[in-house]
C-alpha cells in the first residue's frame, strides 16, 4: 500500500517536469519572437528573386513612372570583374556585346536614384535585342527587387 507522501512526491516531480517544459517553451518562443522582430526591421543585404535568362544584355532604364532615365552608368560584371560599361542616352537604352554565356550582374547608377544591382544569366548569346530588359530605378539609396527587372517582348528602338 502506498503512502500519501509517495503520491504527493510523484505529483511534485510531475509538476516540476511540466514547469521545466513550460519554461523551456516560453524561452524558445521569446527567442523566436526576438529573431523574427529583429529580422523584420533590418534592411536586406541580399535580394532574392529569379534572375532573368537573356540572349543579349540590352534594354531600357526607366523610373517608377515608366519614363526613360538618361545618364545612367550601366556596368556589366562577371564576379568582381567589369566586363563592359556604358552610359544611357536620352532614351535610357543600353546594349552590350557580351558573347560568353554565364551569370552576370547588371549594375545601374544615376544621380538622384537608388543604386541598383541585378543578377541575370546570359544563355545562347546572339546579336538580336528582340526581348529587351526593362530596369526600373527608384529615387533614393540602394534598391533591388525581382519585379523591377524583367524581360519584355519589345525590341529596342532602331537608330
Alpha-carbon span 96 to 99, nearest angstrom? 9
Residue 120 is predicted with a pLDDT of 92
Residue 128 is predicted with a pLDDT of 86
122: enclosing H helix or E strand: strand 116-122
Distances (CA, A) of 149 to 28, 58, 128: 39, 12, 19
Higher pLDDT, 73 or 44: 73
Q: Tell me if 32 sits within 8 A of 51, measured CB to CB.
A: no
Residue 51 is predicted with a pLDDT of 80
Least confident of 20-29, 71-80, 86-95: 20-29
Average pLDDT estimate for 64-78: 93
16: enclosing H helix or E strand: helix 4-41
Residue 40 is predicted with a pLDDT of 42
Q: Provide the greatest CA pair distance for the chain.
A: 102
Residue 32 is predicted with a pLDDT of 56
**Cell (9 digits) for 111:** 544621380
Amino acid at each position: 500500500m502506498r503512502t500519501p507522501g509517495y503520491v504527493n512526491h510523484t505529483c511534485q516531480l510531475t509538476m516540476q517536469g511540466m514547469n521545466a517544459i513550460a519554461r523551456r517553451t516560453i524561452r524558445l518562443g521569446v527567442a523566436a519572437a526576438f529573431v523574427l522582430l529583429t529580422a523584420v526591421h533590418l534592411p536586406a543585404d541580399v535580394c532574392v528573386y529569379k534572375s532573368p535568362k537573356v540572349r543579349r544584355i540590352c534594354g531600357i532604364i526607366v523610373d517608377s513612372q515608366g519614363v526613360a532615365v538618361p545618364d545612367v552608368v550601366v556596368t556589366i560584371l562577371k564576379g568582381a570583374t567589369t566586363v563592359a560599361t556604358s552610359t544611357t542616352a536620352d532614351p535610357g537604352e543600353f546594349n552590350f556585346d557580351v558573347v560568353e554565356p554565364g551569370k552576370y550582374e547588371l549594375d545601374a547608377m544615376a544621380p538622384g536614384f537608388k543604386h541598383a544591382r541585378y543578377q541575370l544569366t546570359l544563355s545562347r548569346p546572339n546579336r538580336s535585342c528582340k526581348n529587351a530588359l526593362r530596369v526600373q530605378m527608384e529615387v533614393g539609396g540602394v534598391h533591388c527587387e525581382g519585379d523591377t527587372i524583367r524581360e519584355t517582348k519589345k525590341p529596342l528602338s532602331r537608330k
